[in-house]
Copies of this chain bind each other. A is one copy, B any other.
Amino acid sequence: MRIEANLILFFWAFSIFSCLCFSVSSINFGYRFPSSAIKAEQVKLTRKSSSTNKLYKTKYFTQILDHFNFNPKSYQKFQHRYLINDTYWGGPKQNSPIFVYTGNEGDIEWFAHNTGFMFDIAPHFQALLVFIEHRFYGKSIPFGGDKDIAYSNASTLGYLTSTQALADYATLIIDLKKNLTAVDAPVVVFGGSYGGMLASWFRLKYPHVAIGALASSAPILNFENITSPYSFNNIITQDFRSESENCYKVIKGSWKKIEDTGKQSGGLELLRKSFRICKNFIDVDALASWLETAFAYTAMTDYPTPSNFLNPMPAYPVKQMCKAIDDPKSGNDTFAKLYGAASFYYNYSGTATCFNLAYSPDPHGLNMWSWQACTEMIMPTSGSNKESIFPENQWNYSRRAAGCKAFYGVHPRPNWITTEFGGHDIYRVLKRYGSNMIFFNGLRDPWSGGGVLKNISKTIVAIVAEQGAHHVDLRFATKDDPKWLRDVRQMEINIISDWISQYYHDLAHQS
């Protein structure tokens, strides 16, 4: 994405991995995706690939453009990508299960590589694995697969909605089971983050297709006055503050320092040098956004082992960042400390020589989340209160709406998600309705505030890990995983086993 004033002012919103914008001196500034330092190193993938040759085969399904309309345009078709692994499948005769990942806002291969849990447990369950891409992402592009057309304006983007995606999944799964002569095989859906929201909504809306759902880090309550807009930044604040009060204070105090420095003569140049920003562009708001991204995403991916989800990161990266601030190695001023901290996020591999604020690569194809954040996905998360690690800021719906109108010519529908999927009083509503759902949340994950954190019923359960980050349970197991993480996964396996056993029992005793 090129930096343009309007865009920068507008793009505060967007990935579910994002914490949305905040303001410095009441000025909104752009939120951007992980920097050019990203490398798709896929360490785990390489390891797994070498032992299984390939994680999956890639297939395409001819999908209908609009499930909910019957005008001629709705009948247009597109090629819908899914990944499939039948290495461990027991096959249709045994009614062996089918585990389906309900893809989220990016390239499905990226999610498959970061959902090792499904590969890890497939042999135990003799499960077929299917990862379905979300329409308008990756290679599942309507309008002949042409992104220039599909992304061009609201009349084509209009078909990018969660409800259409869920109907895609239902259609594809039903067709796939028919083709495999496996109509009686139980399907369990899995998803993390927005994919987890989709998994839980899929179980709610399509109980005849999936017998259960594991929804990991799914902030389905982050809508319309259900969850406080301060929750997201409060959790980030708490993550850093839990490491050290000094770390929290340095970061909290830095925003005004950056702003003041930027206003001084030569200040921008000083900032550029302090943060190793490339020479093509420097701007106080963009710099602050760049730093904020590092803190928010690190909090989100504060995993107990080294990882490469958004960027390559060490184990416990929040702790590492705070160490860099509390015990700086290259200079004792605030900017040097911050630079040291940010480097964990942007340059853990140590190969970057400068950071390009003017360029936002999108290696995982996440950009179109901005459309979803302008239509249905109105998730108020950008509030910062007085204690926040970020500058004080009120969530402002009107700003979002105005930006969306200016950029896409679209009005958000902020009440739509709760109308369609619920959310208000969910504990009461689902207490006596529905079954077979697991909501996992790690409390270090900024999104956990919008998650289901208590058991709803005997069969709709919450698993909460105090030390957990964003869908950590779905990652490949490693030998260094802490006990609590191994316990979480074992709980999930046991619950899913129970669902499947009960399904077989019901199937055998069907009258």
Contacts and interface: CB of A to CB of B under 8 A. Distances in A.
Interface of A: 64, 66-75, 154-161, 163-164, 167, 170-171, 174, 183, 204-209, 371, 375-376, 409-411, 413, 415-416, 418-436, 459, 502, 506-507, 510-511
A292 to B, nearest CB: 28
Given A433-B435, A507-B428, A72 B422 contact: no
A205 B161 CA distance: 17
B158 A71 contact: yes
B420 A506 contact: no
Given A69-B66, A69-B69, A170-B420, A431 B158 contact: no
A428 B510 contact: yes
Scoring A74, A427, A433 by chain B CB atoms within 10 A of each residue's CB, the highest score goes to A433
B506 A428 contact: yes
Contacts of A208: 418, 421-426, 429
Given A207-B422, A422-B207, A434-B434, A70 B429 contact: no
Given A208-B424, A435-B432, A510-B425, A157 B419 contact: no
9 contacts: A64-B413, A68-B69, A69-B158, A69-B161, A70-B371, A73-B155, A171-B419, A174-B415, A209-B422
A416 B168 CA distance: 11
Contacts of A413: 64, 70
Contacts of A209: 422
A70 B158 contact: yes
Nearest to A171: B419
Contacts of A75: 411
A71 B154 contact: yes
5 nearest interchain CB pairs? A71-B158, A208-B422, A68-B68, A70-B375, A70-B158
A207 B154 contact: no
B207 A430 contact: yes
Contacts of A73: 155
Given A71-B159, A154-B71, A432 B411 contact: no
A75 B404 CA distance: 15
A197 B164 CA distance: 22
A163 B161 CA distance: 15
Contacts of A163: 67-68
A206 B376 CA distance: 17
A140 to B, nearest CB: 17
Given A68-B66, A207-B434, A433-B435, A74 B427 contact: no
Contacts of A411: 75
Given A71-B159, A170-B420, 8 more contacts: A67-B68, A67-B163, A67-B420, A72-B155, A208-B423, A208-B426, A432-B502, A433-B436
A134 B274 CA distance: 64
A427 to B, nearest CB: 7
Given A208-B422, A432-B506, A434-B434, A74 B158 contact: yes
B506 A70 contact: no
Contacts of A418: 208
A251 to B, nearest CB: 36
A511 B426 CA distance: 11
A427 B207 contact: no
A157 B73 CA distance: 12
A371 to B, nearest CB: 8
A431 B510 CA distance: 10
A420 B68 CA distance: 10
Contacts of A67: 68, 163, 416, 420
Given A419-B171, A432-B506, A434-B434, A205 B205 contact: yes
A236 to B, nearest CB: 28
Contacts of A171: 419
A207 B420 contact: no
Contacts of A155: 71-73
Contacts of A415: 174
A423 B174 CA distance: 13
A57 to B, nearest CB: 25
A70 B207 contact: no
Contacts of A428: 506-507, 510
A420 to B, nearest CB: 7
Contacts of A68: 66-69, 161, 163-164
A67 B390 CA distance: 36
Contact of A419 (B66, B69, B170): B170
B502 A409 contact: no
A409 B72 CA distance: 9
A436 B429 CA distance: 12
